[in-house]
Amino acid sequence: MKIYNTLSRKKEEFVPVEPGKVRMYVCGPTVYNLIHIGNARPMIIFDTVRRYFLYKGYDVNYVSNFTDVDDKIIKKAQEEGKTAEEVSSHYIEECKKDMESLNILPATTAPQATKEIDGMIDMIQTLIDKGFAYVAEDGTVYYRTRKFQDYGELSHKNIDELEAGHREIQVTGGEQKEDPLDFVLWKPKKEGEPYWDSPWCKGRPGWHIECSVMSKRYLGDTIDIHAGGEDLVFPHHENEIAQSEAANGCTFAKYWMHNGFLNIKNEQSSKYEKMSKSTGNFFTVRDVLEKYDPQVLRFFMLSVHYRSPLNFSAELMEAVKSGLERIRNAAELLRDKAASAQGDALTEEEKGLVQEAEGFRKKFEEAMDDDFNTADAVSSIFELVKFSNTQAAREGHTKAFYEALLKELEELSDILGIKTEKEEELLDAQVEALIQERQDARKAKNFARADEIRDQLAAQGILLKDTREGVKWTRA
Ligand code: AMP
Ligand code: ZN
């Protein structure tokens, strides 16, 4: 099995730290808003990586965090008159609902930064004791970047070029750093911000130290795979390596995996650009689930290689939707045929055909073994669909034969987290999305649309109740 490692810029054979086990850490979202579909890309990709390892018989310890202390969360809390904790815990719950609807397996552990502060203080203290960090006059703790020999290795950046890029910051920042390249491990609190006691000042951790600590606590000092979107390579992952390797004295992660961006058209320039909350050019998962089955969104993410950029468009979503329907129709046809056919044993001819069908599984595995090429893996599922439709059109096969083909189709789809059965019931996230749309319609005095949504939900057995705390809903 080969994995493209950002560190070596090569595909490398996967050799686990411990035979039969995979320890994997995926940087999770900062929770101050509903997640957008750009955030969903790494979630779906690395969930698929995990599923493939499971299929191959590995025991996978999968850790993915929530960053729940951050300037953006604090800002949102101040705007809404809430505490940062209220904001983050709300969006963690909402994020979990979206993940469930996208058929993302719950992480083995999903730690929250605010609950791991003791570990962060310990690691920062170790870095100070080893001379890799220092305390400035105001209590800020900085990492002494130049002391770490391998700095820049992951992002393939030369430290002197980096220094040139940072010089400006030093002039304008007025910070108490020894060197512009140094980054924050602990910072003093500001008025109205959440804070924790520490040996240096009342304050809070920097973002990078959080992941180093949570990865160490739940997976150990050396892990197999560390992953996230490509924007995290520098500085986030570079800094994580500097912190963890200096503190622990060993390799932090053997394989670094990064997904490409999900892009969206900028209406003004007509060019595709990275989907991002800060530019305001994004769709939340909920927006998309109003129009599409969550399985379509999942399938969309798997339709191209994870390292390639992916442009979100209605045309591509429609194409993916009909592709998914082709798979589901093939499965349904096999189920119908199996229900009415007889014969529990394969005929000699059918044995040969089943072997032929297993050839598609081999192709699927070859694609996945080659750095998780889901695009090619999906193609082999379509080949199986075509083969299966041709066979199903012929009369006289045994029940055992239809069942064998169905099993192939279901198993391969399942590795990608794709369900071959249509889901009839609305998922929680879809209900919430419709309720939100109804609220918006009411605000815009579009009562006809609001009533239509209420009726649509009622038809699905969802009952709405308007309360002072907002709309509550139950399943009948
Ligand atoms: P954030 O909440 O911004 O820290 O992002 C959480 C995860 O989503 C990180 O792994 C990011 O790299 C990833 N991410 C954010 N935007 C995009 C995008 N447009 N395309 C792909 N991945 C993204
Ligand atoms: Zn991280």
Domain ranges of the chain: 2-259, 265-415, 428-475
Confidence of residue 172 (pLDDT cuts 50, 70, 90): very low
C-alpha distances in angstroms, 89 versus 27, 196, 452, 468?
18, 18, 32, 20
Give the torsion sign (CA, 94, 100, 104, 109).
positive
Q: Which amino acid is at 220?
A: G
Burial (Cβ within 10 Å: 0-12, 13-18, ≥19) of residue 315:
exposed
Q: Is the separation of the CB atoms in 420 and 409 below 8 Å?
A: yes
Q: Which residues contact 208 (CB under 8 A, 6 or more apart)?
A: 183, 185, 235, 236, 239, 240, 243
**CB 27 near ligand 1, within 6 Å:** yes
Share of the chain above pLDDT 90, in %: 84
Instruction: Indicate if ligand 1 lies below 6 Å from the C-beta of 257.
Output: no
- Total residue length of the chain: 476
The minimum-distance atom of ligand 1 relative to the CA of 26 is 10
119 lines ligand 1 (CB under 6 A): no
Mean pLDDT of 443-469: 87
From ligand 2's centre to the CA of 393, what distance in Å?
51
Q: How far is CA 472 from CA 115, 425, 435, 445, 463, in A?
A: 30, 18, 9, 21, 8
Q: Which residues does residue 262 pair with via DSSP β-bridges, in sequence order? A: 310
Q: Can you tell me the mean pLDDT for 292-320?
A: 97
294 lines ligand 1 (CB under 6 A): no
Report yes or no: 93 and 11 within 8 Å, Cβ to Cβ: no
Q: For residues 343 and 403, what is the distance between their CA atoms, to the nearest angstrom?
A: 11
> Is the domain covering 265-415 a CATH 3.40.50.10420 domain?
no
pLDDT score recorded for residue 165? 66
pLDDT band at 460 (very low <50, low <70, confident <90, very high): confident
Instruction: Identify whether the C-beta of residue 400 lies closer than 8 Å to the C-beta of residue 345.
Output: yes
CA–CA distance, 450 with 338 (Å, rounded to integer): 44
Residue 171 has pLDDT above 50, yes or no: no
Query: pLDDT by residue (tens digit) across 35-61?
Result: 999 999 999 999 999 999 999 999 999
DSSP secondary structure, 142-172, as one string: EE-GGGSTTTTTTTT--HHHHHHHHHHHHHH
Can 2-259 and 265-415 be said to share one CATH topology?
no
Q: Which ligand is nearest to the CA of 209?
A: 2
207 lines ligand 1 (CB under 6 A): no
Decide whether any atom of ligand 1 lies within 6 Å of the 275 Cβ. yes
Residue 184 in contact with ligand 1 by CB distance below 6 A: no
Neighbours of ion ligand 2 (CB under 5 A): 27, 211
Q: How far is the CA of 55 from the centre of ligand 2 (A)?
A: 26
Rounded Cα–Cα distance for residues 323 and 329 (Å): 10
Q: Is 237 near ligand 1, meaning CB less than 6 Å away?
A: no
Q: Is 459 exposed, middle or buried (0-12, 13-18, 19+ CB in 10 A)?
A: exposed
Q: Determine the average pLDDT of the residues in 117-129.
A: 98
| Residue 166: per-residue pLDDT | 65
Query: Regarding predicted confidence, which is higher, 278 or 183?
Result: 183
CA distance 98 to 268: 30
Judged by average pLDDT, the poorest of 251-265, 313-327, 398-412, 414-428 is 414-428
Contact between 338 and 388 (Cβ < 8 Å): no
Q: Taking the complete model, does pTM exceed 0.85, yes or no?
A: yes
Pairing mode, if any, of strands 470-475 and 253-259?
Answer: unpaired
Taking the CA of residue 231 as reference, the ligand 1 atom at the shortest distance is 12
Determine if ligand 1 sits within 6 Å of the CB of residue 133: no
Q: Please, are residues 323 and 62 in contact by the beta-carbon 8 Å criterion?
A: no
Amino acid at 389: N
- The more confidently predicted of residues 383 and 395 is 383
Contact (CB, 8 A) for 250 and 221: yes
Each residue of 344-359: pLDDT tens digit? 999 999 999 999 999 9
- Average pLDDT value for residue range 319-330: 97
Backbone angles phi, psi at 300, to 5 degrees: -60, -45
Q: First-to-last CA distance in the chain?
A: 48
In which element (H, E) is residue 464 found? Answer: strand 462-467
2-259 folds as: Rossmann fold (3.40.50)
The pLDDT of residue 251 is above 80: yes
- What is the spatial distance between Cα 88 and Cα 67, in angstroms, rounded to a whole number? 9
Going by alpha carbons, the residue nearest to atom 14 of ligand 1 is 39
- pLDDT attached to residue 431: 87
Q: Which atom of ligand 1 is nearest to the CA of 310?
A: 20
Q: Is the pLDDT of residue 202 over 60?
A: yes
Q: How far is the CA of 237 from the centre of ligand 2 (A)?
A: 7
Q: Which ligand is nearest to the CA of 206?
A: 2
Q: Of the ligands numbered here, which is closest to the C-alpha atom of 238?
A: 2
171 near 177, Cβ under 8 Å? no
Query: For 250-313, what is the HEC assignment?
Result: CCCEEEEEEECCEEEECCCCCCEEECECCCCECCEHHHHHHHCCHHHHHHHHHCCCCCCCEECC
Lowest mean pLDDT among 176-190, 325-339, 352-366, 450-464: 450-464
Would you say the CB of residue 262 lies under 6 angstroms from ligand 1?
Answer: yes
